[in-house]
Amino acid sequence: MKHLIAPSVLSADFANLQRDIEMINSSEADWFHVDVMDGVFVPNISFGFPVMEAIKKYAAKPLDVHLMIVNPDQYIERFAAAGASIITVHYEACTHLHRTVQAIHAAGCKTGVAINPHTPVGLLKDILTDLDLVLVMSVNPGFGGQKFIPNTINKVKELRNMASQINPRLVIEVDGGVGLHNLTELVQAGANVLVAGNAVFADESPIQMISALKELDTT
């Protein structure tokens, strides 16, 4: 499967959100990556339902919702109703992860679990068959524009290896500091979806950068 590109709306110009959403619509991007931060799980606050509903109104591609919040269970149905196609919760934020994952499925969404840079992929072994996607954080969550943590490559390889036995259709997404410099290595390690915030929106031509990321030869 050709890798997918998910531009992170966090790096968009919020005063020109409709313009930036339409740019992504007309680009080769595959998903909208929507980062929700609560100021508790991560040391930053991004946006909530009103902004997500505004994104949904114009977005012509699936919303890939990354919840960096404590107690995500209480908001799963509202995120589904607000238009999420994929809901990803953090391993570190869920005491009863299996229950949370079942709630996401019951709400009609694809299920993702994210792991922070310090969290070993092996901890996902007993939940892996229940997941559509694992998001491997390649920076500490909270901010766009951070530097990629190189050990992520090893984690993606280990996860792909583990998934090949247990859940071969697992989608592996990598989030943080991804760009032209590391995308090929990540895809070769087993990643399928690459989030890109700063790499896209700090470029003078975001639409061309999305094409460049999408068309990179990873064979």
Where in the sequence numbering do the catalytic residues fall? 35, 175
Strands 171-175 and 32-37: unpaired
CB of 11 to Zn ion, least distance (A): 10
Of 72, 83, 112, 177, which lies in the binding site for ligand DX5, with binding defined by CB under 6 A? 177
- 32, two tokens: 């909208």
Would you give the binding string for ligand DX5 spanning residues 41-80, x where CB under 6 A is met?
Answer: -------------------------x--------------
Of 4, 9, 32, 35, which lies in the binding site for Zn ion, with binding defined by CB under 5 A? 35
Among Zn ion, ligand DX5, none, the one that 190 touches (CB under a kind-dependent 5 to 8 A) is none
User: What's the sign of the alpha-carbon dihedral 56, 59, 62, 67?
Assistant: negative
Q: Is 122 annotated as a binding residue?
A: no
Residue 149, Ramachandran bin (φ over 0: left; ψ between -120 and 50: alpha; else beta): beta
What secondary structure letter does DSSP report for 146?
P
The H or E element containing residue 135 is strand 133-137
Q: Is 11 annotated as a binding residue?
A: no
Q: How many Å apart are CA 48 and CA 68, to the nearest integer?
A: 11
Q: Using only the alpha carbons of the chain, give its radius of gyration.
A: 16
Is 64 a binder of Zn ion (CB under 5 A)?
A: no
Of 112, 144, 190, 206, which lies in the binding site for ligand DX5, with binding defined by CB under 6 A? 144
Q: How many Å apart are CA 70 and CA 119, to the nearest integer?
A: 17
Using CB under 6 A as the criterion, which residues of the chain lie in contact with ligand DX5 when the complex forms? 8, 10-11, 33, 35, 66, 139, 141-146, 175-178, 195-199
Using CB under 5 A as the criterion, which residues of the chain lie in contact with Zn ion when the complex forms? 35, 66, 175
Binding residue numbers for substrate: 8, 66, 142-145, 175-177
